Each structure stands twice: as structure tokens, then as C-alpha cells.
Amino acid sequence: MYENLIPVITREAIASRVEELGAAISAEYAGKDLLVVGVLKGAFMFLSDVVRSLTIPARVDFVRLASYGAKDSPGELKFQQDLETPVEGRHILVVEDIVDTGHSMALLLDVLAARNPLSVKLCSLIDKAERRQAHVKVDFYGFRLAKGFLVGYGLDFAEDYRCLPAVYELIQPKGC
């Protein structure tokens, strides 16, 4: 069924890295009012594991974004679901599945920064910095990868593959 997938990051590697990230995030935000913001849908698995690895209190909320524009250029960012929790006076950690070109994250981080938080930082499972087009700093990252169309562990292709426990490169079947 999954003959078109090449393993890239194992579930064991993800679990180990998430524990490291949890320790780093906990140290960074010890004693601070932290709101962890998950970007739906792709970050749901990663976010769940990250917040369970924290050793500090944190609140969790979600945004769901849609970008309306040309296929390969940034468009207008729309919140399909905005935060329910106010961000003013809090430290915000956005958790994303993958930061590639950076357009959506740059827009989201700007919107959140305009709401007067104490700080806004970004945590991503995968940082594809080589493909970055917008200036976005990934403060905490799981893995840096240069290429590949990735699926699994929340990452999808046409809503498929999200529930796989590891990350794979999706290879399109020949003739497609």
C-alpha cells in the first residue's frame, strides 16, 4: 500500500528529538506564562508530543490557516480558526509541522506580534531552510532537511498519510 514512500525520519528519532526539544523549551520558558499555538492540521501530532515532553506549565491553543494567492507565491493569509486565548502579555511558541518557503509562518508571526505578546518564537518539526523565501527564524527545530516531498507524523498529501508514525518522502508513481 505504501510502496511509494521512502523512510526519512524514524519514529524513534522523532521521539528522541522531541524529548530534547521539550527540555530546551522548558528551560527557555521556565517561570514564564507560555501559550503554545499549534498550527492545524499538520502540527497536531508534533504539538501533542512536544507539550507532553514539557516540564513546565503551558496553555495550548490552535490556529488554522489558509493562504489565498497564486500557487507558488504568497497570498492573503486567512484564519479559518483563530486563537481563543488572548496573547497580549504572554510568551507565544508557535508549533508547526514544516517551514518551507516561510510565507505562511512569516504572516502568522507578524499577526501574532501585532497582538502585543511578550515574545513570539517558532518551533517546527522540519526546517527546510534551503527553500526559504520569506525571512523566518525557526527557533526550535526537530530536523533540518534540504529536499523531498514529506508525509507522515501529521504531514499530508491531499489529506492522506498524516497518521503514519514516522516521516517519509513521497515518490510519485511512474507515469503520473
Give the Cβ contact number of residue 98 at 10 Å. 23
Q: Is there a contact between 99 and 155 (Cβ–Cβ < 8 Å)?
A: no
Looking at the domain assignment, is residue 41 inside a domain?
A: yes
Q: Report pLDDT digits (tens) over 96-153.
A: 999 998 999 999 999 999 999 999 999 999 999 888 899 999 999 999 998 889 999 9
Domain span at 127: 5-170
Looking at the domain assignment, is residue 176 inside a domain?
A: no
Residue in 100, 110, 127, 156 annotated catalytic: 100
The total domain count for the chain is 1
pTM as predicted: 0.91
Cα separation, 132 vs 113, whole angstroms = 20
Cα separation, 161 vs 156, whole angstroms = 5
Looking at the domain assignment, is residue 16 inside a domain?
A: yes
Looking at the domain assignment, is residue 85 inside a domain?
A: yes
CATH number at residue 38: 3.40.50.2020
Looking at the domain assignment, is residue 175 inside a domain?
A: no
Residue for cell digits 492522506? 160
Looking at the domain assignment, is residue 163 inside a domain?
A: yes
**Residue 97 is among the residues annotated as catalytic for this protein:** no
